[in-house]
Amino acid sequence: MASVARVMSCDAKRHPWQRYLSTLFLHPSITEARHRSTEEHLQFDRHHLWHPYTSLIAPTPVLPISHARGCTLYLEDGSEMIDGMSSWWAAIWGYHQPELNRAIQNQLQDMSHIMFGGFTHRPAAELAAILILQLNADSPDHWEKLDQIFWTDSGSVAVEVALKIALQYHRGMQYNNRKTKIVSVRGGYHGDTLGAMSVCDPVNGMHTAFAGAMPQHVVFVARPPCDDSFRLGPLQQGCQGCTCQDGTENALQLAIDDLQQLLEREHETLAALILEPIVQGAGGMRFYSRRYLQRVRELCTEYDVLLICDEIATGFGRSGFSKASETPRLFASLEAGVQPDIICLGKAITGGYMTLGAVATTERISRGVSSSPPSPNHESSSVVSLPLMHGPTFMGNPLACAVAVASTNLMMEPVDGKPAWQVHVSRIEQELRSNLEPASQIPGVGDVRVRGAIGVIELKRPLDNNIIPFRCRELGVWLRPFGKLLYTMPPYIASNDELNKITNAMMQIAEENS
β-sheet bridge partners, residue 384: none
| Active-site choice (53, 77, 228, 418) | 53
Q: Which distant-in-sequence residues (6+ apart) come within 8 Å of 358 by Cβ?
A: 131, 149, 150, 151, 152, 158, 344, 345, 346, 349
- Cα angle vertex 412, ends 406, 416, to 5°? 130
Q: How many residues does the chain have?
A: 514
d(CA 413, CA 402): 17
Q: Beta strands 270-275 and 306-310: pairing type? A: parallel
Helix ranges (DSSP H) in 437-512: 468-475, 496-512
**Active-site residue identified among 153, 169, 181, 189:** 189
Which residue is catalytic, options 347, 353, 447, 487?
347
Is 13 annotated as catalytic? Answer: no
Phi, psi of 309 (to 5 degrees): -100, 120
- With H, G, I as helix, E, B as strand and everything else as coil, classify residue 427: helix
What proportions of the chain, in percent to the nearest 5, are helix, strand and coil?
40, 15, 45
- Asked if residues 275 and 188 have their Cβ atoms less than 8 Å apart, the reply is yes
347 is catalytic: yes
Give the side-chain half-sphere CA count within 13 A for 494.
34
359, 158 Cβ separation under 8 angstroms: yes
Residues 6+ apart with CB under 8 A from 31: 5, 7
> Which string of DSSP letters, residue by residue, matches 216-232?
S-EEEEPPPPB-GGGB-
Dihedral angle over CA of 408, 414, 415, 419, nearest 10:
50
| DSSP-assigned letter for residue 246 | T
Radius of gyration of the chain (CA): 24
* Residue in 227, 310, 341, 447 annotated catalytic: 310
List residues with catalytic annotation.
53, 189, 310, 347
